[in-house]
């Protein structure tokens, strides 16, 4: 029975500085395909037009989309869930009142409660231009998987304080950013659905990630690996900390696995 290699996407596979997946990472993954089932575990919904090209390059055996909202195996959807419509409405209106930068990518368009602030944060991160951004209130009543808070760590804490049904695992202790998801949702919960389908357990899983939405994956996996650019709490519970994404992090993580297996 093949082991499962579960990979986060943003800042684990996809480098936000270079806007690409390092060639060393793709080569390393291709070298281990016969040994591992490749599972992409991401906060993104990977079947939209923005992400489909990279899906064709990575060629995962399965995808945990949107922090466990959608589970896909070889093109088949095993599970799908959406944010509660009343909760979605409430948190969008709250973000508007508090001047927070909350939104998502939905049906090929960006939506946000604070388009101007979002554009400023994008420019600060080195993006020279930004696409059109629509009013997040247009999402009210729609079937939305998850939201993303492109804001500070303090803003993420504010969301969690005012909405006990939600949690906001952060991406970076310096620049912030956080997924906004139902409290019972996680990549690990999504992986459990996948493991049951394959008749396997977390003992078969090697997980690699960098953000707090990878926390449960790293904790439950047989081997949990944090990227060198990971948040500190993830590094604390990881079995191994590899180099940062820009320093062949995935390649070195898989070298470590080969040496210890």
What integer pLDDT is reported at residue 128 of this predicted model?
61
What integer pLDDT is reported at residue 84 of this predicted model?
97
Q: Which residue pairs, CB below 8 angstroms and at least 24 apart, start in 179-183? A: 179/43, 179/67, 179/146, 179/147, 179/148, 179/149, 179/213, 180/91, 180/102, 180/146, 180/147, 180/148, 180/149, 181/67, 181/68, 181/69, 181/146, 181/147, 181/213, 182/83, 182/84, 182/87
What integer pLDDT is reported at residue 126 of this predicted model?
65
Please write the tens of the pLDDT for every residue from 34-49.
999 999 999 999 999 8
What integer pLDDT is reported at residue 41 of this predicted model?
98
What integer pLDDT is reported at residue 90 of this predicted model?
98
- Taking the C-alpha atoms of residue 104 and residue 139, their distance in angstroms, rounded to an integer, is 9
What integer pLDDT is reported at residue 141 of this predicted model?
97
Residue showing tokens 């996407």: 9
CA–chain centroid gap for 54, Å, is: 14
What integer pLDDT is reported at residue 127 of this predicted model?
64
What integer pLDDT is reported at residue 112 of this predicted model?
96
Which residues in the chain come in under a pLDDT of 50? none
């Amino acid at each position: 029975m093949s082991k499962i290699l579960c990979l986060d996407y943003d800042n684990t596979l996809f480098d936000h500085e270079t806007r690409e997946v390092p060639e060393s990472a793709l080569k390393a993954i291709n070298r281990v395909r016969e040994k591992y089932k490749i599972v992409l575990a991401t906060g993104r919904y990977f079947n939209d037009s923005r992400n489909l090209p990279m899906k064709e390059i990575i060629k995962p055996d399965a995808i945990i989309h949107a922090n466990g909202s959608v589970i896909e195996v070889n093109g088949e959807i095993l599970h799908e869930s959406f944010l509660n419509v009343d909760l979605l409405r409430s948190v969008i209106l709250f973000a508007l009142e508090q001047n927070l930068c909350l939104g998502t990518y939905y049906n090929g368009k960006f939506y946000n409660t604070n388009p101007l602030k979002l554009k400023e944060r994008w420019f600060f991160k080195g993006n020279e231009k930004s696409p059109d951004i629509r009013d997040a209130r247009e999402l009210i009543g729609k079937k939305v998987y998850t939201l993303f808070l492109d804001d500070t760590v303090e803003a993420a804490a504010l969301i969690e304080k005012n909405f006990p049904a939600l949690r906001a695992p952060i991406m970076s202790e310096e620049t912030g950013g956080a997924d906004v998801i139902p409290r019972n949702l996680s990549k690990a919960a999504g992986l459990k659905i996948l493991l049951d389908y394959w008749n396997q357990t977390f003992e078969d899983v090697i997980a690699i990630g960098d953000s707090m939405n990878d926390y449960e994956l790293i904790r439950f996996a047989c081997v949990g690996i944090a990227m060198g650019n990971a948040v500190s709490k993830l590094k604390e519970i990881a079995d191994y900390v590899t180099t940062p994404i820009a320093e062949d992090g995935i390649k070195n993580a898989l070298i470590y696995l080969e040496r210890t297996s």
